[in-house]
């Protein structure tokens, strides 16, 4: 092992993991114009911008409905609440996910049942679902993590056989496809996040639900608005979770470019996949490169902290998604003693490389070159 | 009874109940500037604008802490969740309120216990609280409705005697005072809404919690952020309820004028109180005119629909806050058969007159003149 700290790095401009200032730069003028129109419009709650976005995003996902909500976590909570499962019902969810997928189940008064991922895809392993199904299981919440859709065919078969609903956590997979259908249109209903760092990112919190189920859609529309469908009439005990008009206006500016931006992500992912050659790294699953939305490019390596330091020394930013698995968090004390070895291995070894629409060819080449020199 | 429909109204410009386009007009330039700075800043979650607003609003309310959250309902839910009462504990709340006060209790997994208001103030009647206290009662959620603070002295005595916490729903009372202290600083913790129509209104959903309790504040800061105090460490099962940076930026522009705007509201309220002379109307409680924030000017009349029609005929807008009491809503089936006659009477008879910072002297005079002619 060479000590990379003794080598001199002469690059002057560091490559940050993600710089939203840069990413939004091309949109600034249009966004300022649309926000200033919104400011002077005098209408700020569930107005035209939200309606327009709901229609456009439903069209984009090819679903019947899209309901704008305040954020991605709320989207999942509302999907589950609107499903009216008996209190304490079990919902299958991957053990390798951002904790919000699991929180949504708990916040809806249901019980999360964790299932290990496939080490090749990092996604819910269909082969491990059935052993976790009990008479109380009501649904499977799949998570299209890192921008890649889960293997829905076997999962749908299991759901059908066991009379379970399927929901998608599509927070990281705007525009990802599975057998020509888009994420958000692969189940009974999907929750999206438009957190600023997402493939389709707002400039604050924002989220949406897509579904083809009229009943579910109607119920969620009321539930996001204190439980009220009609002014001052409250059919249900709802929450306040409305997509912000300003954020919707920003999303309306950005949505038309989502496919183009995902293509840029794919092109970078393809270069990483073909040009990175380093036996100390495990690269992500490559077979579906054209279908994935490449929210994150996640590699695995035994000595992650050393690799990360090496990148840092070479002025390359990176991030960990995520360092501590949900079942090891204090928020889930009841799961702390359970063992999910694949998920634990993933959390220990993964590192996300820079992958976003502002990376230049030169930067990508530099990153590849440096990674290939890592020993 | 004369038939006012046969009289000719010659006023050309109607007076709307509320026109936010007009209300925000003076702020537009500053708000556009601050939003455009935000857009190019690249930082959109819990950044400088939220921090600045939290500090300014805590200072305004003279509380130790202010925590920005997504909306007023969430503010109340978070206050109650952070208090860690045993599941199913009872919380006293007025029967005459916007339903969100009651929803907050249910959403936090607690049981709302409704107490009738005083017909003079429309606020929680201290004399009726003790008969509703049981061994399961843990807190009183007072609501400073319509901009007027509840009578906190007797309520605090009751709370102390029975070892109960007190929380304030201050959604309608930004800047209102009780014995020289501000709403938000009269209890263990308060929830504010900055819904666009409020005295301090954002341009979308927004809310905050004020408290002097360090523990509660710390807990709420984590709970609003998925339960995470430190990045990727989750101590609790939290929610996603962050005050938006853009909305905080807007509130930072508007807060410095809140007192001035409340004074304008008070001046209009004073004119209504002294100049409206019509025996078919009951005017609001006048003794605390200087301390109240006059979010709404609520009159009572037996034949409300006729009075409302008369106003409409004279091109004067009005609104009802609120037409159906919470215990009669389908969302609270378990309360539908309970009887709260004072609350029901209020809901049947009240009407809110225009009261906002854009009303001209002439418009106020016209409204008074027309109301005095109503028979
Ligand atoms: C599968 C799944 N399900 C449900 C959810 C829940 O959805 P939400 O309720 O909408 O969050 C998530 C969310 N997932 C997100 C969020 O919950 C978030 C808080 O943390 C992670 O995202 P990420 O790592 O991209 O966020 P971060 O704030 O650490 O920012 C990453 C970088 O981006 C830069 N940055 C960040 C911000 C906010 C900025 O303004 N400017 C800027 O330059 C600085 C950082 O280095 C999660 O993946 C999810 O992944
Ligand atoms: C005691 C108490 N506790 C908790 C809460 C819960 O707080 P939040 O969760 O923040 O809503 C409330 C909220 N209370 C609010 C809200 O929950 C709201 C939905 O309904 C009522 O407020 P209000 O009657 O002012 O609202 P509205 O939407 O009917 O608007 C009134 C007029 O204003 C005009 N308008 C309105 C909007 C939104 C606009 O963009 N432009 C415009 O010109 C048109 C309408 O004629 C409640 O008092 C409360 O009163």
> Does B45 contact A196 at a Cβ distance shorter than 8 Å?
yes
| Joined tokens for residue B335 | 């309360």
Q: Which residues of chain B are within 8 Å of residue A237 when distances are taken between CB atoms?
A: 103, 106-107, 331-332
Q: Which atom of ligand 2 is nearest to the CA of B20?
A: 43
Give Dmax over CA atoms of chain A in angstroms.
70
> In terms of C-beta density within 10 A (0-12 exposed, 13-18 middle, 19 or more buried), how is residue B39 classed?
buried
Question: Cβ of A28 and B40 within 8 Å?
Answer: yes
The predicted pLDDT at position A2 comes to 54
Helix A361-373 and helix A258-275, axial crossing angle in degrees, nearest 10: 30
CA distances from B132 to A161, B106, B115, B124, B299 (A): 51, 17, 7, 12, 29
Is the pTM for the entire model greater than 0.95? yes
The answer to whether the beta carbons of residues B151 and B164 sit under 8 Å apart is: no
Q: In this structure, what are the phi and psi dihedrals at residue A350, rounded to the nearest 5 degrees?
A: -80, 155
Task: Identify the nearest ligand to the CA of A101 by its number.
Answer: 1
CB-based burial, A288-323: b 16+ in 10 Å, e otherwise: ebebbbbbbbbbbbeebeebbebbeebbbbbbbbbe
Contact A72, B240 (CB under 8 A): yes
**Centre of ligand 2 from the C-alpha of residue B360, in Å:** 23
Count chain A–chain B contacts defined by CB atoms under 8 A.
Answer: 185
The pair of structure tokens assigned to B86 is 């045993």
Distance in angstroms (rounded) separating the CA atoms of residues A167 and A152: 11
Atom of ligand 2 nearest to the CA of A232: 20
For residue A327, give both structure tokens. 């079942």
Whole-number Å distance, alpha carbon A116 to ligand 2 midpoint, is 45
Mean pLDDT of A246-250: 98
Cα angle vertex B204, ends B202, B206, to 5°?
Answer: 65
Cα separation values, A221 from B68, B176, B196, Å: 25, 34, 20
Q: Which of B78, B197, B208, B331 to mutate to test the pocket of ligand 2 (most atoms within 8 A of CB)?
A: B197
Per residue in B252-311, pLDDT (tens digit) is 999 999 999 999 999 999 999 999 999 999 999 999 999 999 999 999 999 999 999 999
Task: Identify the closest residue of chain B to A240 by CA–CA distance.
Answer: B73
Contact status, residue B344 vs residue B290, Cβ threshold 8 Å: no
Stretch A18-34: mean pLDDT, rounded?
A: 95
Q: How confident is the model at residue A71 (pLDDT cuts 50, 70, 90)?
A: very high
Angle at A280 between CA A275 and CA A281, to 5 degrees: 55
Give nearest CA residue, ligand 1 atom 28: A197
Q: What percent of chain A has pLDDT over 70?
A: 99
Structure token digits, residue A139: 């649904």
B243 CA distance to ligand 2 middle (Å): 17
Shortest CB distance from A103 goes to which of B44, B100, B226? Answer: B226
Beta-bridge partners for B67? B209
Q: What angle do CA A28, A33, A34 make, to 5 degrees?
A: 100
The whole-angstrom separation of Cα B169 and Cα B155 is 14
The residue behind tokens 């919902």 is: A91
Please give the average per-residue pLDDT across A270-278, as a whole number: 98
* Alpha-carbon distance A131 to nearest alpha carbon in chain B (angstroms): 27
Question: Residue B172, exposed/middle/buried by CB under 10 A (0-12, 13-18, 19+)?
Answer: buried
Q: Decide the pairing of beta strands A350-353 and A297-300.
A: antiparallel
Gap from B66 CA to chain A (nearest CA, Å): 20
- Which stretches of chain B drop beneath a pLDDT of 50? none
Whether A259 has a pLDDT exceeding 80, the answer reads yes
Q: How far is the CA of A373 from the centre of ligand 2 (A)?
A: 60
Contact A182, A61 (CB under 8 A): yes
pLDDT in tens, A328-369: 999 999 999 999 999 999 999 999 999 999 999 999 999 999
Give the tokens for residue A143.
């998570």
Minimum CA–CA partner of B248 in chain A: A204
State the nearest Cα–Cα gap between B239 and chain A, in angstroms.
7
Q: How confident is the model at residue A10 (pLDDT cuts 50, 70, 90)?
A: confident
Q: Cα separations (Å) of B21 from A52, B13, B16, B25, B28? A: 21, 16, 11, 6, 10
Outline where chain A has alpha helix (H). 20-23, 28-41, 48-61, 72-82, 100-107, 152-162, 214-223, 245-254, 258-275, 304-313, 341-349, 361-373
What CA–CA distances, in Å, run from A172 to A121, A147, A176, B181? 14, 5, 9, 47
> Which helix (H) or strand (E) is B253 found in, with range?
helix B245-254
pLDDT at B12: 86
CA–CA gap between residue B98 and residue B256 (Å, rounded): 27
Do A36 and B35 make contact, defined as CB atoms within 8 angstroms? yes
Rounded distance between C-alpha atoms, residue A71 and residue B243, angstroms: 12
- Between the alpha carbon of residue B107 and those of residues A227, A240, A268, B93, the distances in Å are 12, 11, 45, 14
Say how many Å lie between the CA of residue A194 and the centre of ligand 1: 9
Instruction: Assess whether the previous peptide bond of B322 is cis (omega < 30° from 0).
Output: yes
Mean pLDDT, residues A41-68 taken together? 98
Kind plus residue range of the DSSP H or E element containing B228: strand B228-230
Helix axes of B245-254 and A245-254: crossing angle, nearest 10 degrees:
130
Kind and range of the H or E element at B152?
helix B152-162
Distance (Å, whole) CA A218 – CA A209: 12
Pocket residues for ligand 1 (CB within 6 Å)?
A 17-20, 71-73, 97-98, 100-101, 143, 169, 171-172, 193, 195-197, 205, 207, 319, 321; B 42-45, 240
Tell how far CA A122 is from the center of its chain: 13
Cβ distance of A107 and B236 shorter than 8 Å: no
Cα dist from A334 to A89, A329, B372, whole Å = 16, 10, 67
Kindly identify which residue of chain B lies nearest to residue A81, measuring between CA atoms. B107
Nearest to A204 among B106, B244, B332 (CB): B244
Pocket test for ligand 1, best of A192, A195, A317 (most atoms within 8 A of CB): A195
With cut-offs at 50, 70 and 90, classify the pLDDT of residue A166: very high
Please answer yes or no on whether B232 and A323 come within 8 Å at the CB atom.
Answer: yes
Contact A266, A237 (CB under 8 A): no
Say how far apart CA A200 and CA A192 lie, in whole Å.
10
Q: Is A103 close to B203, i.e. CB distance below 8 A?
A: no
CB B240 to CB A41 under 8 A?
Answer: no
CA distances B56 to A271, B64, B175, Å, are 49, 11, 13
For residue A246, give the nearest of B204, B226, B332 by CB distance.
Answer: B204
Which ligand sits closest to the CA of B296? 2
CA B113 – CA B122 distance, rounded (Å) = 17
The shortest CB-CB distance from A236 to any of B235, B246, B331 is to B331
Burial class (CB in 10 A: 0-12, 13-18, 19+), A120: exposed
Across residues A247-259, what is the average pLDDT?
A: 98
In whole angstroms, give the CA distance from residue A193 to residue A200.
8
Q: Which two tokens stand for residue A216?
A: 């579910």
Task: Name the DSSP class of B110.
Answer: -
Q: Which of the ligands is closest to the CA of residue A16?
A: 1
- Residue A244 is nearest to which of B205, B330, B331, comparing CB atoms? B205
> What mean pLDDT is reported for chain A?
97
Q: Euclidean distance between the first and final Cα of chain B, in Å?
A: 6
């Amino acid at each position: 092992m060479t000590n990379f700290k003794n080598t001199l790095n002469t690059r002057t401009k560091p490559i940050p993991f993600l710089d939203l200032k840069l990413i939004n730069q091309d949109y600034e003028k249009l966004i300022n114009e649309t926000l200033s129109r919104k400011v002077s419009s005098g209408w700020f709650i569930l107005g035209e911008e939200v309606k327009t976005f709901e229609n456009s995003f439903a069209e984009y996902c090819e679903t019947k409905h899209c309901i704008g909500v305040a954020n991605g976590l709320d989207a999942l909570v509302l999907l589950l609440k609107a499903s009216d499962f008996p209190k304490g019902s079990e919902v299958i969810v991957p053990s390798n996910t951002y904790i919000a997928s699991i929180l949504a189940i708990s916040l809806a008064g249901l019980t999360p049942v964790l299932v290990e991922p496939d080490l090749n895809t990092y996604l819910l392993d269909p082969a491990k679902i059935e052993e976790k199904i009990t008479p109380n299981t009501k649904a499977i919440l799949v998570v299209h993590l890192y921008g890649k859709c889960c293997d829905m065919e076997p999962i749908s078969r299991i759901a059908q056989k066991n009379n379970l609903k399927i929901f998608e956590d599509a927070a990281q997979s705007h525009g990802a496809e599975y057998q020509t259908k888009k994420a958000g249109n692969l189940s009974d209903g999907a929750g999206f996040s438009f957190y600023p760092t997402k493939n389709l990112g707002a400039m604050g919190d924002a989220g949406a639900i897509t579904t083809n189920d009229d009943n579910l859609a109607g119920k969620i529309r009321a539930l996001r608005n204190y439980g009220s469908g009609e002014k001052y009439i409250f059919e249900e005990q709802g929450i306040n979770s409305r997509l912000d008009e300003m954020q919707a206006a920003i999303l309306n500016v950005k949505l038309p470019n989502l496919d183009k931006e995902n293509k840029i992500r794919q092109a970078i992912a393809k270069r990483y996949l073909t040009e990175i050659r380093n036996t100390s790294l495990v690269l992500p699953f490559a077979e579906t490169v054209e279908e994935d939305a490449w929210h994150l490019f996640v590699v695995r390596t035994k000595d992650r902290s050393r690799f990360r330091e090496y990148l840092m020394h070479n002025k390359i930013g990176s991030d960990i998604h995520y360092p501590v698995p949900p079942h090891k968090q204090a928020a889930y004390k009841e799961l702390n003693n359970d063992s999910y070895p694949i998920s634990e291995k993933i959390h220990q070894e993964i590192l996300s490389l820079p992958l976003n629409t502002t990376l230049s060819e030169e930067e990508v080449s530099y990153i590849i070159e440096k990674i290939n020199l890592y020993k």
